[in-house]
Amino acid sequence: MNGSDERLPGLFDGMAAILRRDLLLAWKRPGDVLNPLIFFLLVSTLFPLALGPDARQLALIGPGVVWVAALLATLLSLNGLFLGDYEDGSLEQLLLSPQPLPWLVLGKSAAHWLTSGLPLIVVSPFAALSFGMPADAVRVMMLTLALGTVSLSLLGSIGAALTVGLHRGTALLGLLILPLAMPILIFGARTVSLAAAGDAAGGGVWFLGAWCALAMVLAPFAAAAALKISNE
Amino acid sequence: MYGPEAVTTTLLEGRGLGLVRGDRWLFGGVDIALGTGELLRVEGPNGSGKTSLLRAVAGLIEPDDGEVLWRGQPIRRHRQAYHAELAWMGHRPGFKGDLTPVENLRFEAGLRAGWKPAADDILQRLGLTPLRRIPYRLLSAGQQRRLALARLVLSGATLWILDEPFTNLDAPGREQVQSLLDEHLAGGGVALAASHQELAIDAPTQRIGLQ
């Protein structure tokens, strides 16, 4: 077996290759990146318009609305995580490549976050602006969104892998990962509310960090197993 | 070149492979023993399980009965070592439509350590050189198929598994498949092919018929 051992590629080669490819694809199809982003901005700026300019009320609902919009925008983009690869046969080639599948999934999740979570964090202050959120709370919001969207990209890969063989699995994908996403939503929104009210927000941030670390360790393995089953 | 007296070692082995679809056996008791330089042709009508057999041998699906061995080792426990020597050409191309042939092949090179760097030669030979900077989706069906052939050659894999390799190819393209296969087998490779058409291959050919 000595002959075949040296043919195994390095551990990070495949992950780097898939990260590079998915970023290149996103660059060539900017619509896939922009759609969820526009959805996020639309939802979070329509609320103040519909509810009227009562500053106290807006400050109260602001963190919740921004977080729900962020969660839904992420769900929107998660559906396509493995769908393209499944339809054009790239997934078969990935499954048959001499790479540990969880690493490839991690590479795809990283690319997904860089093209959905990161831009969302960058534009989120504009959404916060429409709710008159104080500067301190905006900083906490961006931090919680950073931890939350990383977790969602990772946990979402499990749902996306499970539903990739089904046609129109979007609703099912939402149902599947909502139980895992619920704590992120609750702690994220509540932490921003506390920060806006001037209270200590550290606990929530730590919780989101722990959730993110857990997702990073477990989600790629679960998603890799799900991909194998979906592709049978 | 490969007389009956030539010494061959068994690389790929399938023992009593069987697959259940719904409530019936799609096939059962399929034995495979393939040595250096040998080709196995899987025959049978549509729906007889040719593709499923190839997918089971490749390790994409778990057979319901039997096991597959590569170099004497069960592939379930040595998946990576097996897949490092395997190249798959299925119905679906596995290329990204928005990327150019060169970008697609560069990604493949990142996945495999045994990748051959001589991409220009094979693109030239398959007539893809003028198309190397055009998005894959703009290529014709036959040209797309040729790029899949280029991947087979560049992968440097020992085992080729081909599902209907002649689909969408014109007469020169079909001849290229056969000459590439011949070179692969003459170089000590192994191949499995499901095909309706007769393969004109010099190397020793085994056949499996599925009903």
List, for residues B151-190, the tens digit of each pLDDT value.
999 988 999 999 988 888 888 888 888 999 999 999 989 9
Nearest to A54, CA basis, from A134, A132, A136: A132
pLDDT for the residue B5: 45
Q: Do B110 and A20 touch (CB under 8 A)?
A: yes
* Closest chain A C-alpha to B173 CA, distance in angstroms: 22
Choose among B60, B73, B109: nearest Cβ to A96. Answer: B60
Interface predicted TM-score (ipTM) of this complex, two decimals: 0.89
Which chain A residue is nearest to residue B112, measuring alpha carbons? Answer: A9
Q: Does the pLDDT of residue B197 top 90, yes or no?
A: no
Amino acid in the structure at residue B57 = V
> Is residue B7 very low, low, confident or very high in pLDDT (cuts 50, 70, 90)?
low
The interface residues of chain A toward chain B in range 75-94, judged by CB-CB distance below 8 A, are 84, 87-90, 92-94
Contacts of B94 in chain A (CB under 8 A): 88-90, 92-93
pLDDT tens digits for range A122-179 = 999 999 988 988 898 999 999 999 999 999 999 999 999 999 888 776 788 888 899 9
The model carries a pTM of 0.90
Reduce the DSSP state of residue A89 to 3 states and report it. Answer: coil
Q: Do A18 and B95 touch (CB under 8 A)?
A: no
Q: Which residue has the higher pLDDT, B143 or B120?
A: B143
Which chain B residue is nearest to residue A228, measuring alpha carbons? Answer: B60
* Closest chain A C-alpha to B124 CA, distance in angstroms: 24
Q: Do B61 and A10 touch (CB under 8 A)?
A: no
pLDDT tens digits for range A40-98 = 999 998 988 898 888 888 888 899 999 999 999 999 899 889 999 999 999 999 999 99
pLDDT tens digits for range B51-60 = 999 999 999 9
pLDDT for the residue A7: 62
**DSSP E strand boundaries for B2-59:** 10-21, 24-35, 39-43
A-B C-beta contacts closer than 8 Å: 105
pLDDT for the residue B2: 46
Contacts of B58 in chain A (CB under 8 A): 96
CA angle B24, B28, B29 (to 5 degrees): 160
Q: Mean pLDDT in chain B?
A: 87
The interface residues of chain A toward chain B in range 113-132, judged by CB-CB distance below 8 A, are none
- The end-to-end CA distance of chain B, in Å, is 33
Which chain B residue is nearest to residue A93, measuring alpha carbons? Answer: B94
Please name the residues in contact with A10: beta carbons below 8 A apart, sequence gap of 6 or more: B113
Please state, in angstroms and rounded to a whole number, the distance separating the CA atoms of residues A164 and A85. Answer: 9
User: Looking at the complex, does the CB of residue A139 fall below 8 Å from at least one CB of chain B?
Assistant: no
Percent of chain B whose predicted confidence (pLDDT) is above 90: 47
Which chain A residue is nearest to residue B80, measuring alpha carbons? Answer: A98
How many C-beta atoms lie closer than 10 Å to residue A206's C-beta?
A: 13
Nearest to A8, CA basis, from B14, B83, B141: B83
Q: Do A92 and B84 touch (CB under 8 A)?
A: no
